[in-house]
């Protein structure tokens, strides 16, 4: 009996040595700064979908909670400071960055503001959780700026794979007049070429009446001008007018992009691959549905956590190397997430969704790639304009 | 009169059917349990149960089936003889998988939404303890000596080693991304843990929780991202391990002495879990996406039949009848 007890005690001690458990005495903090500069909110026609005040931040909060559950067993915790600034207040953002020693910074602001902040700072790792801008992953890339939000190109490629597979390849496009609409339209054009297609016909969005009253009268006229086509693409990043196109077109045709078939990094309709659990954790914490910016913030901090665990809390340069070199992050989208080592973009499946269901998860079956099928979405290594990662 | 003899003949046949071994399967999206006759390979019964049934297991005397009815937030107890649910055990929120202590009395339940493991006394129907574990606990196993319970947590990526005397964690082992299932060898000396997104199975030495081996899988013509290990089952003499590889639609056969993969068996789509026929000659796999159960002949490692069951079959467990 005493012998048995002794061997049990020995087993316990070995257990403690072999595993870092209950290590409350050598508690380690991993500091994160969430830096937000408000983006100008564009007036849109419908009042149905206000942008949540805590968009992005709620995802980061969930990741901190998730990480700290692991941290509770392993003797570390994530500590996040949030700085929320008014539109255009780059100066305070710079001051906040200087005043913080957090090695990991989530950037919730415009692409231009990100570049301006990232330049000239050392020994930090930044995550873009807010901008789809392709130039940030291309000619304007920065070696310390990683992107967990997908790019316009990734979203456009996902849609193109879908129409190609469906053989709905006679395409029309209506583009809104926001700068973001032009960027997404450009990505759609580029993607169509990549997959050997092109837009047969195209119109700018010019109507400015109250479509909530007149969509049934105005939209048929506009779309009649497009002639015949299989699918109507809409570049309307703020979902200003796109929601009024479906069922109001001249011909009976599906709408893609905008408010039709949407291509996103995350949507409330994702429920496969364990996503239901993530959705319900998020909803419990924030009282609303998870959106792609929330997911990008969540994924960034989950990646940082995973990198610390797998490298035994290595210095930041090794964390960056691990993120770009070997991470396999579980992200509830059916495939492991990792980062492209040529531009810092997180590889991820892109969901094609409508209001109440996931239609497909790109990359679609049959779109092969020599290295990783996920690299059939967005700027691939040979075509990348980014040179900052060529160390 | 003729009809009566027919009926009599039918009644005479019924008890005979009862002597075949059975495989019981939970159907996650039709809220049913299907019972498959191991000899005829046909579905012979279907029971309506609580919402989103996933993990299932039998009491040691096979008189009762325990069912994790995830969305009903309860563990239901089905009386096999009576063919109906006789009571529900408190289970904590969203029970997904569970394991029965060798004493036959205590159930250890993973509460996926709550980051806790709940210990329930199946006799008194009382919750004995709740143990804080990592985010999204799922895989559950109790060591054959009853001293250790394992919970794997999917987002925390750990196997937690819980002392069943004190109901506290005494060690945590980091594993690859999204651990789904834990299985002890029959002698309790080793623990197998599958990692769905990591694409690997880790084997630990129970005595000191050190990792002995990590098994990776490679199937010709299948992208590595789709090789996602979930269920793990060891055969009767523990010489072989069978690993269900999810959306790769294959089951790997692993030599437990060398940890080499000997074979890959093609089964239905998105294979989750498995159960051996009690005579050890066949393996039944639940295929979530194709909604069927594949029957694998273990002499040839070939699927010989697929049996249509409910929507999204998930758990599988054998019931010997002799």
Residue A391: predicted pLDDT: 63
Rounded Cα gap, residues A259 and A234, in angstroms: 8
Cβ–Cβ under 8 Å, residues B275 and B316: yes
Residue B321 has pLDDT above 80, yes or no: yes
Q: Could you give all domains of chain A from N- to C-terminal order, each with its CATH number?
A: 28-150+267-351 (3.40.50.2300), 153-263 (3.40.50.2300)
Which of B113, B134, B154 comes nearest A280 by C-beta?
B113
Residues of chain A contacting B223 with CB distance shorter than 8 Å: 373
Contact B247 A334 (CB under 8 A): yes
Task: Give the chain B residue whose CA is nearest to the CA of A305.
Answer: B156
Interface of B with A in 169-198 (CB under 8 A): 169-174, 176-178, 196-198
Q: Say which residue the tokens 């941290």 belong to.
A: A71
The residue of chain A with its CA nearest to that of B163 is: A12
Interchain CB distance below 8 Å, B135 and A309: no
Contact B196 A330 (CB under 8 A): yes
**pLDDT at residue number B11:** 45
**Does any CB of chain A come closer than 8 Å to the CB of residue B115?**
yes
Q: Side-chain half-sphere of A104: how many Cα atoms within 13 Å? A: 27
List of chain A residues whose C-beta atoms are within 8 Å of the C-beta of residue B156: 66, 69-70, 73
- Judging contacts by C-beta atoms under 8 Å, the chain A residues touching residue B199 are 328, 336
Please report the pLDDT score of residue A26 as a whole number: 62
| Chain A residues with CB within 8 Å of chain B CB | 11-12, 14-16, 18-22, 66, 69-70, 72-74, 274, 277, 280-281, 302, 306, 309, 328-330, 334-336, 372-374
The partner residues of A217 in beta bridges, in order of sequence, read none
Nearest chain A residue to B227 by CA: give it.
A335
pLDDT beyond 50 at B8: no
**Is the model's pLDDT at B171 over the cut of 70?**
yes
| Tokens representing residue A388 in the block | 């900052």
Query: Chain B: residue nearest A370 by CA?
Result: B223
How many Cβ atoms are within 10 Å of A26's Cβ, its own excluded? 8
Residues in A closer than 8 angstroms to B198, CB to CB, are: 328, 330, 336
> Residue B131: is it exposed, middle or buried by C-beta count within 10 angstroms (0-12/13-18/19+)?
buried
Residue of chain A nearest B113, judged by CA positions: A277
Q: By CA distance, what is A280's nearest residue in B?
A: B113
Q: Domain containing B296 — which CATH number?
A: 2.130.10.10
Tell which of B97, B117, B135 to mutate to test the A interface (max A CBs under 10 Å).
Answer: B135
User: What is the structure's pLDDT at B7?
Assistant: 46
Cβ B177–A74 below 8 Å, yes or no?
no
Is B247 in the A-facing interface, judged by CB distances under 8 Å?
yes
Q: Strands B137-142 and B148-153: what pairing? A: antiparallel
Residue A382, beta-bridge partner list = none
Selecting from B115, B223, B226 the residue whose C-beta is nearest the C-beta of A69 gives: B115
d(C-alpha B314, C-alpha B261), whole Å: 24
Q: Which residues of A186-221 are buried (b: 16+ CB within 10 A; e: fewer)?
A: bbbbbbbebbebebeebeebeeeeebeeebeebbee
Instruction: Choose the mutation target among B115, B177, B210, B248 for the interface with A, i.e. most A CBs under 10 Å.
Output: B177
Q: State whether residue B212 sits within 8 Å of chain A by CB.
A: no
CB contact under 8 A, B209 and A19: yes
Pick from A345, A362, A68, A273: nearest CA to B178: A273
Give residue-wise pLDDT tens across range B134-159.
999 999 999 999 999 999 999 999 99
Number of inter-chain CB pairs under 8 A, A vs B:
93
* Interchain contact, B198 vs A69, CB within 8 Å: no
Which residue in the set A69, A280, A329 is minimally distant from B177, CB to CB? A329
How does pLDDT run along chain A (391 residues), one tens digit per residue?
A: 344 433 333 333 333 333 444 444 568 999 999 999 998 877 788 888 889 999 999 999 999 999 999 999 999 999 999 999 999 999 999 999 999 999 999 999 999 999 999 997 778 999 999 999 999 999 999 999 999 999 999 999 999 999 999 999 999 999 999 999 999 999 999 999 999 999 999 999 987 777 777 778 888 988 999 999 999 999 999 988 898 899 999 999 999 998 889 999 999 999 988 899 999 999 999 999 999 999 999 999 999 999 999 999 999 999 999 999 989 999 999 999 999 999 999 999 999 999 999 999 999 988 888 788 999 999 999 999 999 998 6
Could you say which DSSP state residue A385 is in? -
Å between B322 CA and nearest CA of chain A? 38
The model's pLDDT over B275-315, given as tens digits with 9 standing for 90+, comes to 999 999 999 999 999 999 999 999 999 999 999 999 999 99
Of A66, A73, A329, which is closest to B158 when you measure between CB atoms?
A: A73
Subunit contact B154:A15, Cβ cutoff 8 A: no
Q: For B27-48, how does the pLDDT look when each residue is reduced to its tens digit (9 = 90+)?
A: 999 999 999 999 999 999 999 9
Residue B314 in contact with partner chain A when CB distance is under 8 A = no
pLDDT at residue B17, rounded to an integer: 47
Tokens of A376: 């059939």
Tokens found for residue B250: 């294959």
Give chain B positions within 8 Å (CB) of A334: 247
Tokens of B23: 């495989």
Report helix, strand or coil for A60. helix
| Closest residue in chain A to residue B116, using alpha carbons only | A69
Among residues of chain B, what percentage have pLDDT more than 90? 89
Residues of A in contact with B174 (CB under 8 A): 309
Question: How far A274 CA lies from chain B's nearest CA (Å)?
Answer: 9
What is the interface pTM, i.e. ipTM, of the complex?
0.79
- Give the pLDDT score at B159: 97
CB A328 to CB B174 under 8 A?
no
In terms of residue numbers, what domain contains B37? 2-319
**Interface contact flag, A70 B135, Cβ < 8 Å:** yes
pLDDT band at B10; cut points 50, 70, 90: very low
Run of H or E residues at A257? strand A255-257
d(C-alpha A231, C-alpha A163), whole Å: 8
Tell whether B50 lies on the interface with A, counting CB pairs under 8 A: no
Q: Are B266 and B286 in contact (CB under 8 A)?
A: no
Q: How does the average pLDDT of chain B come out, rounded?
A: 93
Please name the member of B154, B158, B198 whose beta carbon is closest to the beta carbon of A274.
Answer: B154
Structural domain total, chain B: 1
Per-residue pLDDT tens over the stretch B62-90: 999 999 998 989 999 999 999 999 999 99
Spatial separation of the C-alpha atoms in residues A272 and A269, rounded to whole Å:
9
Taking CA atoms, A299 is separated from A73, A149, A306, B220, B293, in Å, by 21, 9, 10, 31, 35
B158 contacts chain A (CB < 8 A): yes
């Amino acid at each position: 009996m005493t012998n048995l007890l002794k061997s049990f005690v020995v087993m316990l001690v070995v257990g403690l040595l072999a595993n870092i458990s209950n290590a409350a005495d050598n508690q380690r903090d991993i500091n994160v700064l969430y830096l937000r500069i408000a983006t100008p909110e564009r007036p849109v026609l419908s009042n149905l979908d206000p942008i949540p005040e805590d968009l992005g931040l709620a995802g980061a909060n969930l990741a901190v909670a998730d990480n700290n559950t692991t941290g509770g067993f392993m003797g570390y915790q994530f500590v996040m400071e949030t700085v929320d600034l008014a539109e255009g207040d780059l100066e305070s953002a710079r001051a906040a960055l200087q005043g913080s020693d957090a090695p990991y910074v989530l950037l919730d602001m415009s692409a231009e503001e990100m570049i301006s902040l990232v330049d000239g700072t050392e020994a930090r790792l930044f995550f873009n959780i807010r901008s789809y801008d392709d130039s940030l992953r291309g000619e304007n890339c920065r070696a310390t700026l990683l992107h967990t939000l997908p790019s316009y190109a990734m979203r456009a490629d996902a849609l193109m794979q879908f129409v190609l597979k469906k053989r709905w390849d006679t395409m029309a496009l209506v583009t809104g007049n926001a700068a973001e609409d032009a960027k997404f339209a450009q990505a759609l054009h580029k993607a169509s070429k990549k997959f050997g297609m092109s837009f047969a016909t195209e119109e700018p969005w010019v109507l400015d009446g109250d479509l909530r009253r007149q969509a049934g009268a105005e939209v048929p006229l506009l779309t009649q001008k497009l002639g015949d086509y299989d699918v109507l693409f809409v570049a309307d990043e703020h979902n200003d007018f796109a929601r009024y196109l479906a069922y109001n077109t001249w011909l009976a045709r599906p709408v893609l992009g905008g408010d039709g078939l949407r291509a996103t990094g995350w949507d409330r309709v994702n429920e496969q691959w364990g996503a239901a659990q993530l959705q319900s954790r998020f909803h419990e914490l924030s009282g609303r549905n998870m959106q792609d910016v929330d997911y990008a913030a969540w994924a960034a901090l989950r990646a940082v956590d995973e990198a610390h665990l797998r490298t035994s809390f290595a210095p930041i340069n090794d964390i960056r190397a691990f993120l770009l070199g070997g991470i396999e992050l579980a992200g509830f989208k059916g495939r492991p997430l990792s980062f492209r080592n040529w531009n810092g973009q997180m590889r991820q499946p892109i969901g094609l969704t409508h209001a109440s269901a996931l239609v497909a998860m790109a990359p679609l079956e049959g779109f092969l790639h020599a290295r990783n099928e996920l690299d059939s979405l967005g700027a691939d290594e040979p075509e990348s304009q980014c040179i900052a990662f060529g160390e | 009169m003729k009809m009566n003899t027919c009926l009599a003949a039918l009644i005479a046949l019924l008890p005979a059917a009862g002597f075949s071994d059975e495989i019981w399967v939970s159907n996650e999206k039709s809220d049913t349990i299907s019972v498959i006759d191991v000899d005829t390979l046909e579905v012979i019964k279907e029971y309506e149960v609580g919402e989103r049934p996933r993990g299932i297991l039998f009491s040691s005397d096979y008189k009762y089936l325990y069912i994790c009815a995830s969305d009903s937030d309860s563990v239901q107890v089905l009386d096999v003889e009576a063919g109906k649910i006789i009571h529900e055990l408190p289970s904590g929120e969203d029970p997904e998988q569970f394991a029965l202590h060798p004493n036959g009395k205590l159930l250890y339940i993973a509460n996926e939404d709550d980051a806790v493991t709940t210990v329930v006394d199946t006799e008194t129907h009382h919750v004995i303890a709740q143990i804080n574990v990592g985010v999204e606990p799922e895989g559950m196993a109790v060591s054959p000596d009853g001293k250790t319970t394992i919970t794997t947590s999917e987002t925390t990526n750990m196997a937690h080693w819980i002392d069943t005397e004190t109901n506290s964690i005494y060690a945590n082992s980091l594993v690859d991304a999204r651990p789904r299932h834990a299985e002890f060898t029959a002698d309790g000396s080793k623990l197998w843990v599958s990692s769905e997104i990591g694409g690997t199975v880790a084997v630990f030495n129970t005595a000191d929780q050190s990792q002995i081996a990590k098994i990776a899988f490679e199937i010709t013509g299948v992208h590595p991202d789709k090789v996602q290990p979930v269920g793990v089952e060891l055969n009767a003499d523990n010489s072989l391990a069978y690993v269900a590889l999810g959306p790769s639609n294959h089951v790997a056969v692993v030599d437990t002495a060398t940890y080499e993969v000997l074979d890959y068996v093609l089964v239905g789509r998105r294979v989750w879990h498995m159960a051996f026929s009690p005579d050890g000659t066949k393996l039944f796999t639940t295929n979530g996406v194709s909604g069927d159960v594949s029957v694998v002949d273990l002499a040839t490692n070939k699927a010989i039949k697929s049996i249509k069951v409910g929507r999204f079959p998930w758990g599988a467990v054998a019931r010997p009848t002799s």
